[in-house]
């Protein structure tokens, strides 16, 4: 049961430098993946 809970935890990458993030999570968002930033949907 606890192994399932670890996949349900929200993960935050706030404060990570762009060089350590995958391309889809970088500030520039080159793949144009829809995501929620600051509570708003960002495309």
Q: How many domains in the chain?
A: 1
pLDDT band at residue 1 under the 50/70/90 scheme:
low
Residues in CB range of 34: below 8 A, 6 or more apart: 41, 42, 43
Q: In degrees to the nearest 10, what's the CA dihedral of 8, 27, 15, 38?
A: -60
Q: What local confidence, expressed as pLDDT, does residue 17 receive?
A: 92
Structural domain including 22 reads 2-42
pTM for this predicted structure: 0.51
Q: How do residues 22-43 score in pLDDT, each as one tens digit?
A: 888 888 888 888 888 888 898 7
How many whole angstroms separate alpha carbon 30 and alpha carbon 38? 19
- What number of H helices and E strands is found in the chain? 1, 2
Q: In a 10 Å sphere around its CB, with 0-12 CB exposed, 13-18 middle and 19+ buried, how is residue 25 labelled?
A: middle
């Amino acid at each position: 049961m606890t192994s399932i809970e670890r996949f349900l935890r929200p993960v935050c990458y706030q404060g990570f430098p762009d060089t350590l993030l995958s391309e889809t999570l970088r500030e520039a968002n080159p793949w144009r993946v829809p995501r929620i930033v600051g509570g708003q949907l960002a495309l």
